[in-house]
Structure 1
């Protein structure tokens, strides 16, 4: 192929690299992958001969072209371009990751595993590549021992890596090897990370695991030890307060949250937890909860979560709907794009006004905001417009797959629909039986 390209050039037939790449893709489509690869090898350097592009610049061009062909599902063409880019810059973690994404989405498990083995050889300090390799071995192949060995090798290459330690802990805990998980966390807590023993995340994960195993006393002890080292970790404070509430130590939890707010006044989660504790059945102090949330807005005036929490306090706990609506109106002036606030404002409107409010929400909130979309799906559900509701639930879940409320409401919708259908069938069959 190299001779052919050279001969064509000598006889005055000129084709630029883009034209050759199109020919390579055509060969792949026709079932000639070796010819496709040969064309790319022979023509990929066209356009670079008379310029001063570095290897990194050339690799960027090839990677960009590889992404283009990957989107067109021309896997062989894209893979060959990535190979050239990786040969030019084998220490580029981003390139290896892009190539791995191609193999994960369109290649085989074997191709991905081989690529990741090469990747960690060239980039042993790239934690993310080790983690991808371990996850693929565990999740896709079901090889727990293989994943364990990869993580052990990764830790040898990256001693003191928090991400790799926690990945190993997740592997052991999700395969119910709790003793191994606890041992890994104990070892990590006594390992020095940047001059401190463990990290706040390691201490937090340790307490969470023990809470899951119902060892609340030990978990509480660990949070106190961790906070002595990391007093600014709001998550550790939250877990300590939750553990105390779980053990019915309400005064201790109140004191914990009070101390936590002095250490982490910018944490919205701590302010919300403190307000909820005051308005809970144990204290039943809604006025104090309101004061906490108003004080919280001094530190985070643009937080939709704080506005939403106070509106719900007024509407649900105190039962003062006019005040809740007024709060939401003020909140939407401060946070006009917040889908959370728009969704709540739709819910608090009288039923005849909800449709108009939902139109305003779609206009002013961020496009395809999952909270607004999910609320509109719920409105369709309440009107028994089943197909419309299902379409909007699906749209909400696609807009943000991590937005759990959309999935939860969608599941509730489908469950309710299935139950109604089943009960209807039972009634029909019962009538048929009597006839």
Structure 2
């Protein structure tokens, strides 16, 4: 094939690299994958000169490979047809790039994405095995390999072996040891997980330490100590958890999450005054962490640190003062403004609107504030406010998109609402609240349809709705979201530690019924 390419060029009928790649695709479509790969190998270096580095060529090849990777269409039949065309071509281009840049971690990740979407589990496993051989110090490649073994193949022992090999290659890797802890704890092996954490607390992670400025290489990391306290709390060893948290903040006083876990444990033990003192100390060490200020305020007006608690207001004036002080330390922080607005809204909608107007002057592009503005507006004015929100905030902000979807839902414009909920999950799949609102919406539509009539056509319609909800759940599970106003609080509740993504989805969706509705 190389001879053919050279002969054509000498014979006055040259083709550029792009044309040769198109010919490779045609060979793939005609059922000649070996010829396709041979063309890619022979033509890949056309158009480059001696000054182009291996990295430059690799970057060009990756961008060219993208146009051959199939894009899913709306029809399943069309999607399956598309998946047969372009995969071999794209894979061959990646292989060429990896041959000249075998130590490029991002390149291996891109190739892994291709195999995950369009290859077989065996193809992906083989590629990742090669990846970690060439890049043994790349934590992310080991973690991807272990996750694929665990989550996709349900091979827990295989994932454990990969993580053991990863730790042997990266003995000071916080990420790898915490991945091993997650593997063990989520599969009920708490003793093994706690043993790993105890060992990690005695490990020197000096190259990855966090929040320990001014200290002489403490053992463990802030995250390791925090995860230790959280897991001990999860297995109901509350006093041990509290001791670990307190010891941890002495070593890592700038790691705010440790302070927060300590305060939560103290408040859980009905030591509200001690929790208050802990948060006061935390704010002296970490005055620019919004969640600490918010937690301190909630402790005053809720009597709890829980984000999802909706009990009656207690010390409003003290909570208000804490949040005002927080905005001095952390100006133009939308989440602090939002907390203040939501606090006032429980007392007076008008006061909340006035405060929100100030907030939007301070943070004019904040999606969370514009979404709250839609919620607080009188019903006849909400549509206009949603237009303002879309104009001023990031058009891809899932919080605003969800607010607009909920507005359509309140107006019974079902198709529009569904479209906007889907748009929110596409814009940011990691935003769990969007999935929960969408699931709640679809569940309500199914319930209403079931109540409306019992004729056979409707039964078919309900079956379709069931499929739609199942597809939504599958997409949410694949996205495995971690962010949102409510999602992380419910997901991180110790009582929910071993729940699946779909279980969390259902719990968050149920809780959303307690929040202000449009």
Give the TM-score of the pair, scaled to structure 2: 0.79
Which residue of the partner structure matches residue 109 of structure 1? 121
| One of 92, 105, 112 as aligned partner of 1:100 | 112
Mapped pair 1:397 → 2:397: no
Cα distance per residue 1:377-406 (max 9 Å; x no partner): 222222333333222222222222222222
Q: Which runs of 5+ in 1 are unaligned?
A: 428-435
Deviation, 1:415, is 2.9
Deviation, 1:155, is 0.3
Deviation, 1:285, is 1.0
Which residue of the partner structure matches residue 154 of structure 1? 166
SS of alignment partner, residue 50 of structure 2: coil
Q: What is the correspondence of 1:10-49 to structure 2 with a 5 Å cutoff? A: 10-48=10-48
Mapped pair 1:220 → 2:245: no
- Conserved? CA contact 2:272–2:303, under 8 Å: no
Higher RCO (CA 8 Å, separation ≥ 6 residues): 2
Give the TM-score of the pair, scaled to structure 1: 0.93
Structure (1/2) with the larger helix percentage: 1
| One of 168, 172, 181 as aligned partner of 2:180 | 168
- Rate the CA distance shift 1:66–1:384 in 2: closer, same or farther, 3 A: closer
Looking at structure 2, the residues matched to 381 and 47 of structure 1 have their Cα atoms a distance apart, in angstroms, of 55
Looking at structure 2, the residues matched to 114 and 178 of structure 1 have their Cα atoms a distance apart, in angstroms, of 31
- Rate the CA distance shift 1:35–1:276 in 2: closer, same or farther, 3 A: same
Cα distance per residue 1:38-75 (max 9 Å; x no partner): 11122222223x53222232222222222332256611
Deviation, 1:159, is 0.3
Looking at structure 1, the residues matched to 367 and 430 of structure 2 have their Cα atoms a distance apart, in angstroms, of 15
Looking at structure 2, the residues matched to 382 and 91 of structure 1 have their Cα atoms a distance apart, in angstroms, of 53
- Rate the CA distance shift 1:216–1:132 in 2: closer, same or farther, 3 A: same
Mapped pair 1:90 → 2:98: no
Looking at structure 2, the residues matched to 137 and 273 of structure 1 have their Cα atoms a distance apart, in angstroms, of 38
Which residue of the partner structure matches residue 80 of structure 2? none
Which residue of the partner structure matches residue 267 of structure 2? 245
Cα distance per residue 1:179-232 (max 9 Å; x no partner): 111111111011111132100011111111122222221111110010010011
Cα distance per residue 1:145-167 (max 9 Å; x no partner): 00100000000000010000011
Which residue of the partner structure matches residue 382 of structure 1? 410
Which residue of the partner structure matches residue 446 of structure 2? 418
Deviation, 1:242, is 1.0
Which residue of the partner structure matches residue 295 of structure 2? 273
| One of 341, 361, 384 as aligned partner of 1:311 | 341
RMSD: 1.9
